[in-house]
Amino acid sequence: MTAESPVAVRCHAASGWFDGDGVVVERENPSRPAEVVARWSAATPAQVGQAIEAAAEAHAGWRSTPIGGRCAVLRAAGRLLEARADAYARELSREEGKIVGEARGEVLRAAAILEYYAGEASRPRGEVFAGGRVEQSLFVVDQPVGIVAVVTPWNFPIAIPAWKIAPALAFGNSVVWKPAPASSLLAMRLLECLLEAGLPAGAVTLLLGDAEVGEAILAAPAIDAVSFTGSTGVGRSIVRAAAERGLAVQAELGGKNALIVGDDADLDAAVLALVSGAFSGNGEKCTATSRVLVDARVADDFLALARLAIEALRHGDATDADTDVGPLVSASARDRVRDALGRSDGVVVAAAALPDGEGWFVAPTLVELAQPTGELWDEELFGPVVAMHRVASFDEALAVANASPYGLAAAVYTRDLARTRQAIEQLDVGMLSINEPTTGGYPYVPFGGWKGSAVGPREQGAAARQFYTRSKTVHLSA
């Protein structure tokens, strides 16, 4: 296989593309770590301050652009993403480790998100109420928040930025964006499409770097709100920093999502949900299935089917079209997941074969636990490892699933309507799937969790308006 030259990735501000004056970073291919995919230099705090000042000066021009013009940019950028889906998918696989078919699906999902928010131009806005007098009118208008800091993770390097940036722009905000260091190349690609589609420089400012850059962005006086997706620890520190400044904050954090398999479940379908939910995206999804609660009366049959499905998974290079599961994002991520497996007292009941090579691979693994406790059960690992526990009843399954500080997603497999209604009423999660995997979503419905999985308003769909606008009540007398 011929090595490809590293791509030079740059920051962008109102003045155009620029290189950071900070540390130089090389991003390695998770499938073949000896291969450098991208190279960039981090912005310094001084550069961050200058870029945000320039964004503040440019903001009025973007805010005053009619909504039809703003949404036309999103629509045109979405079409560019569609046209470049194959090329961007390969870059995504090489940069982040997601298998190429899923990577292409993510690029197309980002395009669909841009298209959805392009429709904001034709949706009704505001409310009108009767006044207390004949000559009085009362109405409520939504106006932009201002300049929004957007901090995005590496595991969905183009879709998650799209579902934050698209509504922000559609509603007239400007964005200062810090992507995760492991996904700088795809960040640049998304911004290139937006700029080519007609987005004025300064409407989205792209700043590359690590925690130092994020801290400088949060401290900038011009920032009005913060939207974050990432780990619970980092997210909580961002929430605290935003609260100290009185900034609006939206944070999507971790998940420890349960799949419940009732004794009446379609076991073939439930196993497919396990494999899809736990191992797609290499298990590096906040919505990934990481806990399985199976009724003891069908557990042996479920395990037999699961073992066949997991052992059949093809594990290897993310850019190979025949690969089912790719490498993890980094050597440290691989080591963290492997170490957790080594510390567990559970029994490995199924595992795929590890591929040859130096990639950052962890075998897709199912571990059975005698008790629903411990690191594999309680902590978000972000890898292709799932823990299973047998339960005596559906009621027990619901109770054990709820005994977690997280509340992002859950899936229930049952043919019983009463159990379905019970799950809808009792499971403490923001997103529930009945006879579908925990993973998946659509641009037009809200995304987000309960409990320790989220802070602030939901993302996507009409719910995004709640965060990216602020309402103004107007009393008008002629």
Q: Where in the chain do CATH 3.40.309.10 domains reside?
A: 257-442
pLDDT of residue 98: 98
pLDDT at residue 1 greater than cutoff 60: no
Among residues 11, 71, 193, 286, which one is catalytic?
286
pTM score of the predicted model: 0.96
Q: Name the band, by pLDDT with cuts 50, 70 and 90, for residue 2.
A: low
257-442 folds as Aldehyde Dehydrogenase; Chain A, domain 2 (3.40.309)
Mapping DSSP onto H, E and C, the string for the chain reads CCCCCCEECCEEECCEEECCCCCEEEEEECCEEEEEEEEEECCCHHHHHHHHHHHHHHHHHHHCCCHHHHHHHHHHHHHHHHHCHHHHHHHHHHHHCCCHHHHHHHHHHHHHHHHHHHHHHHCCCCEEEECCCCCEEEEEEEEECCEEEEEECCCCCCHHHHHHHHHHHHCCCEEEEEECHHHHHHHHHHHHHHHHCCCCCCCEEECCCCHHHHHHHHHCCCCCEEEEECCHHHHHHHHHHHHHHCCEEEEECCCCEEEEECCCCCHHHHHHHHHHHHHHHHHCCCCCEEEEEEECCCHHHHHHHHHHHHHCCCECCCCCCCCCECCCCCHHHHHHHHHHHHHCCCEEEEECCCCCCCCCCCCCEEEECCCCCCHHHHCCCCCCEEEEEEECCHHHHHHHHHCCCEECEEEEECCCHHHHHHHHHHCCCCEEEECCCCCCCCCCCCECCEECCEECCCECHHHHHHHHEEEEEEEEEC
* Residue pLDDT, tens place only, 96-109: 999 999 999 999 99
Q: Name the band, by pLDDT with cuts 50, 70 and 90, for residue 357.
A: confident
Active site residue 11: no
* Residue pLDDT, tens place only, 182-210: 999 999 999 999 999 999 999 999 999 99
CATH architecture of residue range(s) 7-253+453-477: 3-Layer(aba) Sandwich (3.40)
Q: Where in the chain do CATH 3.40.605.10 domains reside?
A: 7-253+453-477
Among residues 252, 284, 380, 459, which one is catalytic?
252
**What percent of the chain has a predicted confidence (pLDDT) above 90?**
96
pLDDT at residue 426 greater than cutoff 80: yes
Active site residue 286: yes
The one-letter amino acid at 201: A
- What's the sign of the alpha-carbon dihedral 362, 366, 370, 376? positive
